[in-house]
């Protein structure tokens, strides 16, 4: 079966080793009755939801640690609760997505650096209890009574737990980029130089955005900076990613992924501009900007997820780049 | 690469001591007659449930492709008769040379060229499914093959997008079937191998298209077969997955094809995804450091 390949709609100039990609792609490619070659991941929306929630947890825990050290109690409370929620809800999504959820503990029978999922599981299962302890201290502080013994443990342990969680946050935010890239899914693997950076940017935008939604203006200056810095990093690296992806960048510009990708850009840009313009002056504008950045982070994760799935379902994204690679060598 | 090695013996590399010679399949598409005995034998021996009875409109192929409940898949391609000299008009040499049979794989009389080939898990030297498995359910056997331990796999699904050939999949049904929710693929009949038997598909193949044995010997035999075909004018004949220098370190199950790999639904230049993993971890470290530094910078003069 020889299929006429559409001329790729977008071919941007790439630098370095991707400059070769400018060669005219083959006009036709061959497949077996148009069937996919690689298989798409069997993952449902649990996984992109986790990508967001894990990023939210990581960004929030860094914000919480800073707020704790700089004595910004309201920002610290919001961020610790955000880190707890992200870790717990994210873990639940991961377990729900398993083919055999009852066997999730089998993840703990080994530790493998060759498996980003194994590495991530260990990061998340260490991060979770630490973030939970810091969040529990916030809840205990607003109770109308003192919890005997455990309350004193929480008082003493909250700061070290929160700081340790923050120390794990860079790993938690970045490993998910490797998780997707370490596959034969064309759009994900082709983006392997950018995905970890996009994901840490998205995590910072989400964590900062939540801080802006939940804390009073006088305490959110670090949250605003983190949110804007994260959004700018993610948006910049996305431009770079589209160049690196070559042919598979087409998957970001069609179908469901295109709508999500456009939404992620619009929300992130609007949220960042709103933050810079009004985030420090108007509580409502700050809240809306923070919410836009959170929503932008959600859309970023789902857009990249859907683009990868689309690239796996169409054999052109497997065959044509491999043919070009063979022709170059 | 962690665990990466140029060693030709993945079993010893994994830590098996006194491992037997690496076993594999040589699937010779030039003598496949499309009988699907391999598909049936595999299903019967391994107790694999039915996974769809549909007319796919793909020549005689209603199986579709490899999956959780299809561990051998015979591809059927009907090609228009090609000009003389392209190799397709020359009747293929019989298997007679080795087995006394008399079965041409294609005929100049039909006006088309039939391509048939039985696909299977490649049992890669550098196996992405095994590398990325977070539970250790996927393991390297003493025969150098790659096998899922059914009682360990928790169905995370990571091996599925990792495989550059789209072989492994999660069994999604039918309800009540064995191993639903976990990853499944060809075991190279691990149970039969341990008893010194030939895998079911190779045992059932009536034309010796599927040959089982020591990988070294199979490679030598395959090289000889290609030379034989080239000498007979079948210049299209080429091996696929037989080169230890390829992107997966060579396949334990390799093929003789009569056209480009993608014609059969195989990737033209598969590369194990974990080859780039060290670079990816370095990128992640840079990204993590960026996040940490950015967060610290955000708290400089934190108070408004």
Q: Which among A35, A58, A229 is the nearest to B265, CB-wise? A: A35
Please tell me the distance in Å from A223's CA to the nearest CA on chain B: 7
What pLDDT, on the 0 to 100 scale, is given for residue A9?
38
Q: What is the Cα–Cα distance from B194 to B216, expressed in whole angstroms? A: 19
- Of the candidates A266, A267, A256, A264, the one whose C-alpha atom is nearest the C-alpha of residue A307 is A256
Query: Does some domain include residue B287?
Result: no
Domain presence at residue B292: no
Residues of chain B neighbouring A173 (CB-CB closer than 8 A): 287-288, 291
- Write down the pLDDT at residue B211: 98
| Rounded (10°) CA dihedral A149, A150, A154, A156 | 30
SS3 A270: helix
B23 sits in which H/E element: strand B23-28
Residues from chain B contacting residue A30 (CB–CB below 8 Å): 260, 262-263
Do B266 and A37 count as a contact with CB atoms less than 8 A apart?
yes
**What are all long-range contacts of A271-279, with beta carbons under 8 Å and residues at least 24 apart?**
A271/A205, A271/A209, A271/A227, A271/A231, A271/A295, A271/A296, A272/A205, A272/A227, A272/A228, A272/A231, A272/A232, A275/A212, A275/A224, A275/A227, A275/A228, A276/A224, A276/A228, A279/A212, A279/A220, A279/A224
Does ipTM come in above 0.90? yes
**Whole-number Å distance between alpha carbons of B21 and B17:** 12
The label of the residue with tokens 């994901």 reads A199
What residues in A contact B170, CB-CB < 8 Å? Answer: 42, 99
Alpha carbon of B193 to those of A150, B70, B142, B188: distances in Å?
58, 20, 10, 8
Contact A188, A308 (CB under 8 A): yes
Residues of A in contact with B267 (CB under 8 A): 37-38, 318-319, 322
Domain boundaries, chain A: 43-328
| B301: in domain | no
**DSSP label of B125:** S
Answer yes or no: do A98 and B154 touch at CB < 8 A: yes
Q: CB neighbours of A255 closer than 8 A, spacing ≥ 6?
A: A306, A310
In a domain, B47, yes or no: yes
State the Cα–Cα distance between residues A183 and A273, nearest whole angstrom. 35
Selecting from B268, B269, B288 the residue whose C-beta is nearest the C-beta of A174 gives B288
Q: Cβ contact (<8 Å) for B294 and A229? A: yes
CA neighbor of A292 nearest in space, from A307, A312, A273, A317: A273
CB-CB: which of A33, A39, A106 is closest to B166? Answer: A39
Per-residue burial over B182-193, b = 16 or more CB atoms within 10 Å of its CB, e = otherwise: bbbbbbbbbebb
Cα(B160)–Cα(B156) distance, integer angstroms:
9
Distance in Å, alpha carbon of B98 to nearest chain A alpha carbon: 31
pLDDT at A26: 54
Q: Quick check: B299 and A40 CB within 8 A? A: no
Contact B223, B217 (CB under 8 A): no
The answer to whether B47 touches B178, Cβ cutoff 8 Å, is yes
Task: Give me the DSSP letters along A138-191.
Answer: HHHHHSSSPPTTHHHHHHHHHHHHHHHHHHHHHHHHHHHHHHHHSSS-HHHHHT
Q: Do B263 and A32 touch (CB under 8 A)?
A: yes
Of B131, B152, B267, the CB nearest to A318: B267
Task: Encode A50-74: b = buried (16+ Cβ within 10 Å), e = exposed.
Answer: bbbbbbbbbbbbbbbbbbbebebee
Query: CB atoms < 10 A from the CB of B197, how many?
Result: 14
Query: B144 to each of A270, B27, B67, how far by Cα in Å?
Result: 55, 18, 21
User: How far A10 CA sits from the closest chain B CA (Å)?
Assistant: 24
Report CB contact under 8 Å: B287, A200: yes
Superfamily covering domain A43-328: Formate dehydrogenase/DMSO reductase domain (1.20.1630.10)
* Alpha-helical segments (H) within chain A: 46-69, 73-97, 116-142, 150-181, 186-190, 195-214, 221-244, 255-278, 283-313, 316-328
Q: What is the 3-state secondary structure (H, E, C) of B25-88?
A: EEEEHHHCCCCCHHHHHHHHHHCCCCCCCCCCCECCECCCCCECCECEEEEEEEEECCCCCCCC
End-to-end CA distance of chain B: 48
B161 contacts A39? CB cut-off 8 A: yes
Distances (CA, A) of B175 to A49, A98, B43, B179, B294: 27, 16, 18, 10, 50
> What is the torsional sign of CA A237, A285, A166, A298?
negative
Burial class (CB in 10 A: 0-12, 13-18, 19+), A3: middle
Query: Could you tell me where the DSSP H helices lie in B190-231?
Result: 190-194, 200-204, 215-231
Task: List strands edge to edge, sheet with B210-214.
Answer: B210-214, B23-28, B253-257, B238-240
Nearest residue on chain B to A176, alpha-carbon basis? B284
Residue B82, pLDDT score: 58
* Burial zone of A147 (CB within 10 Å; 0-12 exposed, 13-18 middle, 19+ buried): middle
The answer to the question of residue B280 being in a domain is no
**DSSP state, residue A89:** H
Find chain B residues with C-beta within 8 A of A104's C-beta.
Answer: 154
Beta bridge partners, B67, equal: B70
CB B21 within 8 A of CB B216: yes
Rounded to an integer, what distance in angstroms lies between the CA atom of residue B185 and that of residue B197? 19
Residues of A within 8 A of B159 (CB-CB) are none
Contact between chains at A99 and B181 (C-beta distance less than 8 A):
yes
CB atoms B132 and A117 under 8 Å: yes
C-alpha span between B22 and B222 (Å, rounded): 16
Neighbours of A294 (CB within 10 A): 24
Contact A322 B270 (CB under 8 A): yes
Looking at residue B145, which CATH number applies to its domain?
3.30.70.20
Q: Give pLDDT tens digits along chain B (304 positions).
A: 444 545 568 998 888 998 999 999 999 999 999 999 999 999 999 999 999 889 999 999 999 999 999 999 999 999 986 544 444 444 555 444 444 333 344 555 557 888 999 999 999 999 999 999 999 999 999 999 999 999 999 999 999 999 999 999 999 988 889 999 999 999 999 999 999 999 999 999 999 999 999 999 999 999 999 999 999 999 999 999 999 999 999 999 999 999 999 999 999 999 999 999 999 999 999 999 999 999 999 999 887 6
- CB A115 to CB B132 under 8 A? yes
CB contact under 8 A, A100 and B155: yes
Structurally, how many domains does chain B consist of?
A: 1
Residue B9, in any domain of the structure: no
CA distance A188 to chain B (A): 10
Domain membership of residue B304 (yes or no) is no
Stated pTM of the model: 0.91
pLDDT at site A147 = 87
A280 in Cβ contact with A217 (< 8 Å): yes
Partners of B124 in beta bridges: B251
Q: Give which of A208, A249, A250, A211 is closest to A230, Cα–Cα.
A: A208
Contact A66 B2 (CB under 8 A): no
Interface size, chain A vs chain B, as Cβ–Cβ contacts under 8 Å: 271
Give residue B251's domain range.
19-273
Is residue B179 one of the residues assigned to a domain? yes
Single out the residue of B61, B199, B161 nearest to residue A317, CA to CA: B161
* CB neighbour class for A208 (10 Å; exposed up to 12, middle 13-18, buried from 19): buried
Report residues of chain A scoring pLDDT below 70: 1-27
Cβ pair B157:A99 closer than 8 A: yes
**Separation in Å, CA of B152 to nearest CA in chain A:** 7
């Amino acid at each position: 079966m020889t299929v006429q390949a559409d001329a790729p709609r977008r071919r941007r100039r790439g630098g370095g080793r991707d400059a070769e990609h400018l060669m005219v792609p083959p006009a036709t490619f061959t497949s077996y009755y148009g069937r996919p070659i690689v298989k798409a991941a069997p993952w449902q929306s649990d996984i992109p939801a986790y990508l967001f929630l894990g990023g939210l947890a990581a960004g929030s825990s860094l914000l919480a640690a800073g707020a704790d050290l700089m004595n910004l109690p309201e920002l610290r409370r919001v961020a610790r609760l955000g880190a707890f929620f992200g870790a717990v809800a994210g873990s639940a999504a991961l377990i729900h997505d398993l083919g055999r959820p009852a066997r999730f503990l089998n993840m703990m029978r080994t530790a493998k650096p060759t498996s980003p999922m194994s590495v991530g599981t260990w990061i998340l299962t260490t991060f979770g209890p630490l973030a939970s302890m810091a969040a529990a201290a916030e809840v205990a502080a607003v109770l109308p009574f003192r919890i005997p013994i455990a309350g004193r443990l929480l008082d003493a342990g909250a700061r070290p737990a929160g700081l340790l969680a923050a120390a794990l946050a860079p790993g938690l935010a970045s490993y998910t980029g490797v998780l997707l890239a370490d596959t034969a899914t064309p759009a994900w693997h082709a983006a392997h130089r950018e995905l970890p950076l996009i994901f840490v940017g998205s995590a910072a935008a989400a964590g900062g955005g939540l801080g802006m939604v939940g804390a009073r203006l006088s305490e959110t200056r670090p949250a605003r900076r983190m949110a804007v810095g994260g959004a700018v990093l993610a948006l910049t690296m996305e431009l770079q990613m589209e160049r690196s992806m070559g042919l598979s960048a087409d998957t970001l510009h069609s179908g469901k992924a295109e709508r999500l990708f456009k939404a992620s850009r619009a929300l992130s840009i609007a949220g960042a501009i709103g933050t810079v313009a009004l985030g420090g002056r108007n509580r409502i504008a700050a809240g809306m900007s923070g919410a836009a950045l959170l929503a932008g982070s959600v859309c970023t994760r789902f857009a990249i997820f859907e683009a990868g799935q689309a690239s796996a379902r169409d054999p052109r994204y497997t065959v044509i780049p491999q043919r070009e690679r063979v022709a170059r060598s | 690469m962690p665990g990466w090695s140029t060693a030709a013996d993945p079993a010893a590399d994994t830590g098996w001591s006194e491992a037997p010679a690496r076993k594999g399949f040589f699937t010779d598409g030039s003598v496949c007659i499309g009988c699907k005995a391999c598909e049936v034998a595999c299903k019967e021996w391994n107790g694999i449930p039915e996974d769809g009875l549909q007319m796919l409109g793909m020549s005689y192929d209603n199986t579709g492709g490899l999956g959780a409940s299809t561990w051998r898949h015979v591809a059927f391609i009907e090609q228009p008769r090609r000009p003389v000299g392209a190799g397709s008009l020359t009747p293929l040499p019989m298997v007679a040379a080795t087995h006394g049979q008399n079965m041409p794989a294609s005929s100049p009389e039909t006006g088309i060229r039939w391509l048939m080939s039985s696909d299977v898990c490649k049992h890669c030297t550098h196996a992405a499914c095994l590398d990325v498995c977070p539970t250790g359910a996927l393991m390297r056997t003493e025969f150098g093959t790659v096998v899922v331990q059914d009682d360990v796999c928790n169905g995370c699904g990571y091996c599925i997008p990792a495989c550059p050939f789209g072989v492994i999949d999660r069994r999604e049904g039918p309800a009540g079937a064995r191993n639903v929710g976990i990853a499944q693929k060809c075991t190279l009949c691990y149970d039969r191998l341990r008893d010194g038997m030939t895998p079911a598909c190779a045992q059932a193949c009536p034309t010796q298209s599927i040959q089982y044995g020591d990988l070294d010997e199979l490679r030598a035999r395959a090289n000889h077969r290609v030379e034989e075909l080239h000498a007979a004018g079948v210049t299209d004949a080429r091996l696929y997955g037989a080169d230890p220098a390829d992107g997966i370190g060579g396949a334990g199950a390799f093929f003789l094809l009569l056209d480009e790999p993608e014609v059969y639904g195989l990737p033209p230049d598969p590369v194990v995804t974990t080859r780039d993993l060290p670079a990816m971890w370095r990128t992640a470290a840079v990204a993590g450091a960026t996040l940490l530094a950015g967060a610290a910078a955000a708290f400089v003069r934190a108070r408004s």
